[in-house]
Structures are given as structure tokens and as C-alpha cells.
Amino acid sequence: MAKQRSPIRRIAHGSFVTDGAGVRLRRIMPSHDVDTIDPFVLLDEFHSTDPDEYKAGFPTHPHRGMETITYMITGAFEHRDSRGGGGMLTDGCVQWMTAGRGILHSEMPKETKDELWGFQLWLALPAKDKMCEPRYQHLSSKSIPEVNTGGLSAKVISGSFAGISGPAHSVVPATYLDVTLFHRGDFEYHIPTGHHAFCYIRAGSVATGGSVSAIDEGTLVEFTPGAVVRMRPASDAAQFLFLDALPVNEPIVHGGPFVMNTEEEIEQAFRDYQDGKLG
């Protein structure tokens, strides 16, 4: 009988950095352990009860060549962009912004609670779509459906899970779930052949096929394409983000706030920004 391959490709841990105008955050990807997981380029977690660690926020800055997705767990961010998009992101809201050929935006936190907790994810656009028209999607918490099956609760932000589809429209086909597993709950997902998938444990710990021991909070787990992922809580409850997408299978060059295919395109993006041609 052939030995079943492990669903786990690698495990990674991020590090704390300062970004924006002085926001302390955990940079999960890229890191020393993992650069990109095509088409996923960046994943940041901002989580603090100290306003001094986040109140400076992210003043106006440019983007080109990717989609940026901000997901608020708790707290509030006010968004404004050069295309007229904007609004207040509060508990459970998602901002899905397609930067395309260029956009300027700002994300400034509001001290409405003792805790600010959220994530920002970047998705590389394929070359044919990098210069598309920018687009902004604001998803309220009420617009994001949930799958509830006994010990599992999953918010479906994009893609589909258990027959439920999320409201976000992604240029690159992608599934984005926020999963909570309670006592004896279990999560099963079959990664399509050719897709890339990973999860990030944001609270508690999980056990999954192929792991020797429990995987703790603050850990990124990249899965083997085509594998069947099975996860259960190794603590009273566990929460994790689960991402799955079709890779662009092109060179990904990440330079500051831009994601392009070549260094020359990154340099051009900086020149266009300096010349006032973005946004």
C-alpha cells in the first residue's frame, strides 16, 4: 500500500516589525521561513491593547499590481482612497481593494475599544490584470455568511465552503475562511490539484494529520497541493484563517507597496508615484 503523503508542506513563524507611521505588527509572510505562497504575497497581523502601538496608523500610501484585503476581528479602521472609496471597518468587516494600475489610500485606526485586532493580506494579480481599473469592496459583518456544523463555525469571506459562497469578488480565484473549532469540532478541506493553501492559527492550538504535536497560535501552516486537510482543536477552542487560491504561476516581485513581475516594473511604479500618476 502506498504511503499517504503528509498534508503539511512546511510550518513558519513570523516576526514583529513596525510599519506604516509606527504600527507594531506581526509579519507572518514574508518571513525567514516563507517568502511567498503564490499568489499570496503578504500576511500581517495587528493585535494590541496599547493605542501607542497602532494609533499612528497607515497614512496615505500607494499600491499597484495586487489586491489588499483587510479583515477586522475587533476595533475600527477608517479607510479613504483616491478613487472615492472608503468607509469605517468595524468588528467583522472586510475591505477588499483591487489596486490594479494604481491607487492611493489610507487606513487610520479609531480608538473605539481597548483592543485592535485584524489582518491584512496581499494577493498578486496576474500580469494581464495588473493594470486593471482599481476597485473597492466594503463587506459588512452581516454580509459575510457563516457555516455552522456542530463544533465548527466558519465565516466565508470569499470562495465557497460546505456549499456556502462568500460575497467578495476576487480577480484570482481564492477562498478565505475564518474558522472556529470548538470541543470535538473538526475541519476538513480538499485542496484542489494545483492550488496553494495555508492556514494561520490566530488563537488556541490545532492538531492536523501529519503533525507530530499540536500547532500553536502564531503559526502558519502551508499545505501540500491536492492534499486533504483535517484539523481539530488541541485546546478548548481554536481559531484560524484558511486560505486557498489558484497560483498565478508568474514571477512575483515585491517592492515596497507594489507587486509586479519584474524589477523594472517596480522601478516604473515608483517613478509613476513620484510623478503623480497613481490614483
C-alpha cell of residue 277: 500618476
Beta bridge partners of 176: 158, 243
User: What mean pLDDT comes out for the span 85-97?
Assistant: 92
- Give me the amino acid identity at 91: D
C-alpha cell of residue 81: 482612497
Question: Does CATH place domain 8-256 in 2.60.120.10?
Answer: yes
- Give me the amino acid identity at 167: P
Look at residue 1 and tell me whether its pLDDT is greater than 50: no
pTM of the model: 0.95
pLDDT tens per residue across span 244-254: 999 999 999 99
What is the C-alpha separation between 21 and 147, in angstroms, rounded?
37
pLDDT tens per residue across span 197-222: 999 999 999 998 766 679 999 999 99
**Considering only CA atoms, which of 275, 277, 187 is closest in space to residue 237?**
187
What is the C-alpha separation between 225 and 25, in angstroms, rounded?
29
Look at residue 95 and tell me whether its pLDDT is greater than 80: yes
pLDDT tens per residue across span 112-156: 667 899 999 999 999 999 999 999 999 999 999 999 998 999 999
**Average pLDDT along the chain:** 93
Cα radius of gyration (the chain): 18
C-alpha cell of residue 31: 518571513
C-alpha cell of residue 121: 493580506
DSSP string, 88-127: EE-TT-EEEEE-TT-EEEEEEEE--SS-EEEEEEEEEPPG
Q: What separation in angstroms does the CA of 116 have from each of 55, 76, 200?
A: 10, 7, 18
Structure confidence at residue 4 (pLDDT):
55
Structure confidence at residue 137 (pLDDT):
94
Pairing state between β 40-48 and 23-29 = antiparallel
